[in-house]
Chain A
Amino acid sequence: MLQRWWQNLLNRTRSATSAQAALETPSGTVIPVSRAGQWLLLTLGLALAWVVGWGLVVLNQEAIRLSKPTLADGGAATLLFRDAWAVASSASHYPLDQVGQSVGLPDEWSRSHPSYEGSIWYRVHFDTPIQPSTDKLLAAYIERACSNVEVHLNGQLLYRGGRMTEPVARNCDQSHVVPLPSFLLRTGSNQLDLKVTGYPIERVTARQRAGGLDEVRVGPLQDMQRMHQDHEFWSNTVSQVIAGILVVLGLFALGLAWVRQLSYLTYFGLLTIGWSLMTGRWWINELPVSNASTEVLIAMMFAPMTAFAIKFLLGYSGHGMRNRKARDLTRQVNAILWAQCLLLPLSLWLVGVNGLFLVARLWYVLFALELFVAIGYFLWHSGRTRKPEFWLMSVALGVVSAVMGIELSFQNGLLRVWGVHVTYFVMPVLYAVVAVRLIQVYAGALKTAEGARNQLEKRVQEISAEIERNFNQIAELRVEQIAEKERKRIAADLHDDLGAKLLTIVHTSDNDRISTLAREALEEMRLSVRGLTGRPMILSDALADWRAEVVSRLGQSGIEIEWRNSIDEVEEPLSARTYVQTTRIIREAVSNIIKHSQASHVVIHTDVHLEHHDFLLVIQDNGKGIPMELDGRLDRGHGMTSMKHRAKQLNGQCLVESGPGFGTVIRLTLPLEIAVVQQKVAIEHTQAASTASIPDGAQGSPLGTTP
C-alpha cells in the first residue's frame, strides 16, 4: 500500500520533470537511466550517504573524546573540580547566608535548576597544594560558563567576562582563563567563587546557550592558557576562518549568479553567506538587545537558510524550468518556504519567552525533514541524468543527516556532550565541495561556450572569406556585365544608325560598285559588332558556320567545293574576336577565288593540333594563281596584306603560295586561346546561371548530346 503510494508519487514527479530533466543539465552529460537502474542507483546513493553519515558520527565522537581536556592535559599540577557548592543568588558576593547544594560539574541548569533564570554562585575550595614555584603562577580555567561568569578568589573580584545584568554577555562558546594573583592566595584553604549568569533552556533556542557551568581547573598559568588557546582555536578561530572563507565563496557564487543569471547559484551564495553569519554569531558577545530577542533572531535565520538550501537543491536539479506543472509546484514550494520565514518568528512570539526552546526545536525538526525531502528529490532527479551530481549529493545527504542527527539529538538532550563538534567543520567543507562542483560546472560551460565561440569565430572567418570571394566575383561579373551592356548598346546603335544608312545605300544606289561596297561595309560592321558582343564559341561550331557560308557562296558561283575536317568534334573554345577575324580572312579568300581565280574546284582542309594549341585551315584552289608584282611579291590588291595582318593580330600566320597555273594555297595557322577563353566561358556560365531563366544551353557541345 505504502509502496504503491510511493510509486505513484514518483511517477507524478517523473512525468512532471522527466522531459526537461535531460535538457536542463548544467553538466551537459545526459545519460538517461532506466527505472530499475534508477532504483539501484538510488539505493547505492543512500548506502553511500549512510556510510558517510555513520563515518561522520564516529568521527564526531572521536573528536569530542580527543578535544575533551583530560586531567593529564593540565599536567600533574592541575586540580580538576568535579563538584561545587552551588547557591542560586544574584548577590554581588557569595551569599553565605543562603543554603546551597552540592552539584556535580559540568552542571546543566536544565537538570539541576530547571527554569531558573538569574545567577548561580559556585564555590570550590582548594588548598594550595602546589605552592606556586618561583617561576610559575596559578590560574583558573573555565571551559564553558553560560552565558557569563564572574570569578572571585577569597572574596575578591578577579575577573568578569562581560555584562552580568540583562542583556548578559553571550560567552557560552568561550572559555575563560583567570590568573590567580599570588598575594590573594592563602596558604591552606582558598575559596574560588564563580558567579554564573544564564538563562533556562526554555528561553533559548539552542541547548548550547542554556545556562550551565563546565568543569573548573586550577593549575599553572601556562598550562591553563594553553588549554584556553586550544579551545579558542578549535571552537572560535577555526569557525571564524571558515566563516570568512564561506563569505568569500558565497560572494563568488553570487557574482557568478549575477553573471550567468542562474537562480540556484544565487541561493547557494545566500546559503553560504547565511551559514557564515550564523557560525560567526560568536563574534559579537555583547548585543544591546534582550536575550529573548537575540535568540529569536538567531532562530529566525534558520527559516530563510532552509529556504535557500531547498531552493538551491531544486534549482540545481533543474526542477520546474520547462514544465508548467512543475512551475506551479515550484510556486507552491516558494510560498511555503517564505511563509515559514514569517511563521517561525510569529510562532515564537506567540508562545512567549518560556516556549522558545520547545518551538524552535519543533521548527528544527521540520526544517530537517524538509531538507531530507529536498535532497531525496535531488537524488532521484540527478540519479537519472547527472552522475557526478548524484554521487556528490549522496555524500552531502550523509553529511547533512549526520550533522542534523547529532545536532537534533544534542538539542533534545539525547546526546550529552560538550566540546568541539565535527559538525562545525563538516558543513563548510560540504559547501566548499558543492562550490567546487558548481565552479567546475561553470568552467565546463565556459569551456563549451568558448569552444562554441571559437567555432563560431572560425565559421565567421570562413564566411567572411567566402563573402569576400563572392564579392570579388560579383564585382568582376558586374564589370563584365557593364562592359557587356555597353557593348550591346554600341552594337544596337551601330545597327540602328550606321546599319540603316548602309542598308539604304545598298538598296537605293544605282551604282553596283557602291551598293556592293555598302553591303561589304555592312557585313564588316556586323562582324565587328559580333566581335564586340559575341560569346566565345567552340571550334566545331565555328567550322560549321564557315563551312555553311563557304559552301553556299562557292556553290552559288558554280565552284565545286570539298571541305575536309580532319577532326570531327573539336571542343576547344574560340573567342568571338578570333572567330570574327578568321571569318574575315576566309571571306576574303573566298571572294578572291570567286572574283579572280577562275577556279573550278576548291579544297578546304582543317586540322587541329592540340599539342601545339593551334588549328590549321588550308584553302586550295585550282585557279590561275595570283600574279606577281614587279618586286616579286604577290599582288596586294587581292587583299593578301589584310589577311596576313589579321592573322598576325591573332598571333597566327597566313601563308600564301601561288604561281601562274598552279592555283593558290592559303595556309592559315591560328592559336587556340584556351586559357583566355575558358575564363571568359566560366564568367558567361555564372552570368547565365544568375540571370537566364530560359534554358539557354551551355557553351559546351550541343551535338554530343543528340543521337
Chain B
Amino acid sequence: MKQILLLEDLPEIRAWLKTLALQVFPGAHISESARVHDALELVNAVRFDVALCDLGLPDGSGVEVVQALREKQPDVQSVVVTIHDDDEHLFPALQAGAFGYLLKEQSREQLAEQLHRISQGEPPLSPSIARRVIKYFTAQASQQPISQADSVTPHVQLTDRENEVLLRVAKGFTLPEIGVQLNLSRHTIADYVKQIYRKLNVSSRAEAALEAQRLGLFRR
C-alpha cells in the first residue's frame, strides 16, 4: 500500500487530486495537508512513497516540503502539481528535488497518465525547463575553476548523452522523437531524464551547502 502526501490548499482541488491519486495508485493511503507547516510535520512522522505538492500555499511554498522530503526521505517521488507552467516557478522545485510536475488544468485522463508515467520513472521535460537546466550546468561549469580547490563540492557533470537529450528537448523535440532520433528505447530516454533531474538536485544541494558555508565564514 502506497503512502501518499497530498499538499493542496483548495479543498475542491484537493478532493479532486485525491481521486486522481487513488485512480493511479489504487488503495493508497493519502495524508492530506493544506499548509506547508502541517506537511512538514507529516514528513517527520510518516514515510511516504509519493508526494503531490502544490507550490503556492498560504504559509509558504511547496518547494520547502519538496526539500524536506529530499533530505529526510530521499526515496520519495515528489511531484509538483501546479497552475504555473513556466520554468521560473518550476525550476526551483526541480532543483529542490521534485521528480516531475503536473499542470493542474489538464484533463483527468492526461494527468492520470502523466502521474502514472512519473511513478514509472518517466518524468516530463519541457523545452523551457531543458533550457534552464542547460544554462544552470553551463554556469556551474564556468564557475568550476574557482571552487575546484574546495574538495567539499562534488563536481556534478552531465554525460554527453544526457546533454544530447537536453539539447534536443530544448530545441522542441519530444522525448519519443528523441528516442527515435538517437535510436534509444523509451526507457533509456526516461532514464536520462531521471539522471538529469537527479544531478540537478545534487548539484543544487552542493551549491547551496557551499553558499551556506560561505555565509558562515562571513558571519564568523
A609 CB–B CB distance under 8 Å: no
Q: Please tell me the size bucket of the interface on B.
A: 35 or more
Given known contacts A495-B84, A705-B138, A706-B167, is B105 in contact with A506 (CB within 8 Å)? yes
B38 CB–A CB distance under 8 Å: no
Tell me how far the C-beta of B66 lies from the nearest C-beta in chain A, rounded to whole angstroms. 18
Tell me how far the C-beta of A247 lies from the nearest C-beta in chain B, rounded to whole angstroms. 68
A288 CB–B CB distance under 8 Å: no
A707 CB–B CB distance under 8 Å: yes
- CA–CA, A496 and B89, complex, Å: 14
- CA–CA, A492 and B61, complex, Å: 13
Which residues does chain B contribute within 8 Å of A503, judged by CB atoms?
10, 13, 83, 104-105
In B19-61, the 8 Å CB interface with A consists of 56
Tell me how far the C-beta of B62 lies from the nearest C-beta in chain A, rounded to whole angstroms. 14
B119 CB–A CB distance under 8 Å: no
- CA–CA, A703 and B171, complex, Å: 9
Across the interface, B10 reaches (CB within 8 A) one of A504, A696, A707, namely: A504
Tell me how far the C-beta of A494 lies from the nearest C-beta in chain B, rounded to whole angstroms. 10
Across the interface, A519 reaches (CB within 8 A) one of B105, B160, B169, B173, namely: B105
Q: Could you tell me if B139 and A697 are in contact, using CB atoms closer than 8 angstroms?
A: yes
Q: Could you tell me if A695 and B143 are in contact, using CB atoms closer than 8 angstroms?
A: yes
Binary contact readout B71-106 vs A (1 if CB under 8 angstroms, 0 otherwise) = 000000000000111100000000000000000111
Q: Could you tell me if A706 and B56 are in contact, using CB atoms closer than 8 angstroms?
A: no
Which residues does chain A contribute within 8 Å of B13, judged by CB atoms?
500, 503-504, 507
Q: Please tell me the size bucket of the interface on A.
A: 35 or more
Across the interface, A703 reaches (CB within 8 A) one of B16, B134, B143, B174, namely: B134
Which residues does chain A contribute within 8 Å of B143, judged by CB atoms?
695
Q: Given contacts A697-B138, A702-B134, A703-B131, could you give 5 more A-B pairs where the C-beta distance is less than 8 Å?
A: A502-B105, A504-B12, A545-B127, A695-B135, A707-B163
20 pairs, CB–CB < 8 Å, chain A vs chain B: A495-B56, A500-B10, A507-B16, A507-B108, A522-B83, A523-B105, A541-B127, A541-B128, A544-B171, A547-B127, A547-B172, A547-B173, A551-B174, A555-B176, A695-B139, A697-B135, A702-B135, A702-B170, A706-B134, A706-B138
- CA–CA, A696 and B132, complex, Å: 8
Which residues does chain A contribute within 8 Å of B105, judged by CB atoms?
502-503, 506, 519, 522-523
A250 CB–B CB distance under 8 Å: no
Which residues does chain A contribute within 8 Å of B138, judged by CB atoms?
697, 702, 705-706
B153 CB–A CB distance under 8 Å: no
Tell me how far the C-beta of B200 lies from the nearest C-beta in chain A, rounded to whole angstroms. 13
Tell me how far the C-beta of B124 lies from the nearest C-beta in chain A, rounded to whole angstroms. 10
Most chain B CB inside 10 Å of its own CB: which residue of A515, A540, A544, A707: A544
- CA–CA, A606 and B131, complex, Å: 21
- CA–CA, A508 and B138, complex, Å: 44
- CA–CA, A702 and B137, complex, Å: 10
Which residues does chain B contribute within 8 Å of A544, judged by CB atoms?
127, 131, 170-172
Binary contact readout B113-138 vs A (1 if CB under 8 angstroms, 0 otherwise) = 00000000000001110011011101
Q: Could you tell me if A703 and B127 are in contact, using CB atoms closer than 8 angstroms?
A: no
Tell me how far the C-beta of B186 lies from the nearest C-beta in chain A, rounded to whole angstroms. 14
Residue of A nearest to B86 (CB): A530
In B131-185, the 8 Å CB interface with A consists of 131-132, 134-136, 138-139, 143, 160, 163, 166-167, 169-174, 176-177
A499 CB–B CB distance under 8 Å: yes
Which residues does chain A contribute within 8 Å of B85, judged by CB atoms?
526
- CA–CA, A591 and B121, complex, Å: 30
- CA–CA, A15 and B10, complex, Å: 87
Which residues does chain B contribute within 8 Å of A523, judged by CB atoms?
105
Residue of A nearest to B127 (CB): A544
CB-based closest 9 A-B pairs: A547-B172, A544-B172, A697-B135, A695-B139, A544-B127, A507-B16, A522-B105, A548-B172, A702-B135
Q: Could you tell me if B131 and A702 are in contact, using CB atoms closer than 8 angstroms?
A: yes
Tell me how far the C-beta of B17 lies from the nearest C-beta in chain A, rounded to whole angstroms. 9
Q: Could you tell me if B172 and A545 are in contact, using CB atoms closer than 8 angstroms?
A: yes
Which residues does chain B contribute within 8 Å of A526, judged by CB atoms?
83-85
* A interface residues, Cβ below 8 angstroms from B: 492, 495-496, 499-500, 502-504, 506-508, 515, 519, 522-523, 526, 530, 534, 540-541, 543-548, 551-552, 555, 563, 695-697, 702-703, 705-707
Given known contacts A548-B126, A548-B127, is B12 in contact with A508 (CB within 8 Å)? yes
Which residues does chain A contribute within 8 Å of B83, judged by CB atoms?
495, 499-500, 503, 522, 526
Residue of A nearest to B142 (CB): A695
Tell me how far the C-beta of B130 lies from the nearest C-beta in chain A, rounded to whole angstroms. 9
Q: Could you tell me if A703 and B172 are in contact, using CB atoms closer than 8 angstroms?
A: no
Across the interface, B174 reaches (CB within 8 A) one of A548, A696, A706, namely: A548
- CA–CA, A548 and B175, complex, Å: 10
Tell me how far the C-beta of B115 lies from the nearest C-beta in chain A, rounded to whole angstroms. 14
- CA–CA, A506 and B104, complex, Å: 9
- CA–CA, A504 and B173, complex, Å: 32
Which residues does chain A contribute within 8 Å of B104, judged by CB atoms?
503, 506-507
- CA–CA, A548 and B104, complex, Å: 19
Tell me how far the C-beta of B213 lies from the nearest C-beta in chain A, rounded to whole angstroms. 15
- CA–CA, A696 and B88, complex, Å: 10
- CA–CA, A504 and B126, complex, Å: 25
- CA–CA, A519 and B128, complex, Å: 22
Across the interface, B172 reaches (CB within 8 A) one of A492, A530, A546, namely: A546
Residue of A nearest to B163 (CB): A706
Tell me how far the C-beta of A591 lies from the nearest C-beta in chain B, rounded to whole angstroms. 15
Residue of B nearest to A502 (CB): B105
- CA–CA, A695 and B211, complex, Å: 13
Across the interface, A541 reaches (CB within 8 A) one of B108, B131, B166, namely: B131
Which residues does chain A contribute within 8 Å of B176, judged by CB atoms?
555
- CA–CA, A703 and B163, complex, Å: 10
Residue of A nearest to B55 (CB): A495
Tell me how far the C-beta of A495 lies from the nearest C-beta in chain B, rounded to whole angstroms. 6
Residue of A nearest to B10 (CB): A500
Tell me how far the C-beta of A142 lies from the nearest C-beta in chain B, rounded to whole angstroms. 97
Q: Could you tell me if A555 and B174 are in contact, using CB atoms closer than 8 angstroms?
A: yes
Residue of B nearest to A538 (CB): B131
- CA–CA, A507 and B13, complex, Å: 7
Q: Could you tell me if B172 and A543 are in contact, using CB atoms closer than 8 angstroms?
A: yes
Given known contacts A495-B83, A507-B13, A508-B12, is B128 in contact with A545 (CB within 8 Å)? yes
Q: Could you tell me if B131 and A548 are in contact, using CB atoms closer than 8 angstroms?
A: no
Which residues does chain B contribute within 8 Å of A555, judged by CB atoms?
174, 176
